[in-house]
Amino acid sequence: MNDNRFLLHVCCAPCAPHPLRTLKKQFALTLYFFNPNIHPKKEYQRRLDETRTLAEMEGVGFIEGEYHPKEWLKKARQWKDEPEKGKRCEACIGARLDETARMAEELGIRRFGTVLTISRRKSSIMVNRMGSLAAKKFPGIAFSEADWKKAHGERFSEKISAEYGFERQNYCGCVYSRIQAREKEKRRAAACVAK
Ligand code: SF4
C-alpha cells in the first residue's frame, strides 16, 4: 500500500513551520492539535486558532483534539514543582504522543511525529523516547524520530512565524510553566534593580 500520509502533533503555530515545511515535501500532512495541558482556556484558543490558520495558509490538513484540562491537571499536579524536562513533562509529552498515535490508528495513518523537539526547552532524546513508546502501543503505527532544533530549525520556525504574525509565548503551556516563567521574570527584574 502506497500511503504517504503523516500525522504531525503540533503544540503551537510558532514551533511548527520548520517541521511542517520539511515534511510536506515528502508527505500528505495533517496537523493534530491535541494539547489539554495548555492554560488558560483563552491561551488554548489563541494557540488553536493560530495553528488552524497556519494549516490553511500552508495547504495541509488540520484536526483539533479534545480539550480536557481538568483531567490533565489531575494527573500533573503530583509533579507541580518539577522543573521543565522533568517527570511532569515526560508524562505530559507521553500522553500527547499516545493520543496522537491513537488518532493515527483511527484515521488509518501509519506514520506520526511531533514538532516538540524544536524547542531548546525540551529534551529531544526524551521526546523521541516517548514517541517510540507510544508507537509500540499501536501495532502498525510508526513514530518518526526527529530533532527539529538541529540546523537552525528553531530560528527558521521563528522567522516564518513572525512573517505570519504569530505570537511567541514565554511559557511552554501548562499553569506550572506559566508560574515558573513569571517567577523567572520577577527574579530578572529584581536583579536589574539591584545593579
Ligand atoms: S512545561 Fe510544557 S511539556 Fe512540561 S508539563 Fe508543562 S506544558 Fe507539558
Grouping H, G, I as helix, E, B as strand and the rest as coil, residue 183 is: helix
Instruction: Please check the confidence at residue 144 and state whether its pLDDT lies above 90.
Output: yes
How many other CB atoms sit within 10 Å of the CB of residue 171? 20
109 exposure class (CB count in 10 Å sphere: 0-12, 13-18, 19+): buried
The reply to whether ligand 1 has any atom less than 6 angstroms from the CB of 92 is yes
pLDDT digits (tens, 9 = 90+) for 166-186: 998 899 999 999 999 999 999
Expressed in angstroms and rounded, the spacing between residue 39 Cα and the centre of ligand 1 is 10
Choose the residue to mutate in 88, 127, 169, 179 for probing ligand 1, maximizing ligand atoms within 8 Å of C-beta: 88
Residue 12 beta carbon below 6 angstroms from any ligand 1 atom: no
Nearest to 73 by CA among 194, 173, 189, 186: 173
Residue 115: CB atoms within 10 Å: 28
* Closest C-alpha residue for ligand 1 atom 6: 174
**For residue 82, is pLDDT > 50?**
yes
pLDDT over threshold 70, residue 84: yes
pLDDT digits (tens, 9 = 90+) for 1-56: 468 999 999 999 999 999 999 999 999 999 999 999 999 999 999 999 999 999 99
pTM: 0.95
Q: Is the peptide bond before 14 cis (omega within 30 degrees of 0)?
A: no
Please identify, in words, the CATH class of the domain defined by 5-168.
alpha beta
Nearest to residue 62, comparing CAs of 73, 54, 72? Answer: 54
- Classify residue 10 as left (phi > 0), alpha (psi -120 to 50) or beta: beta
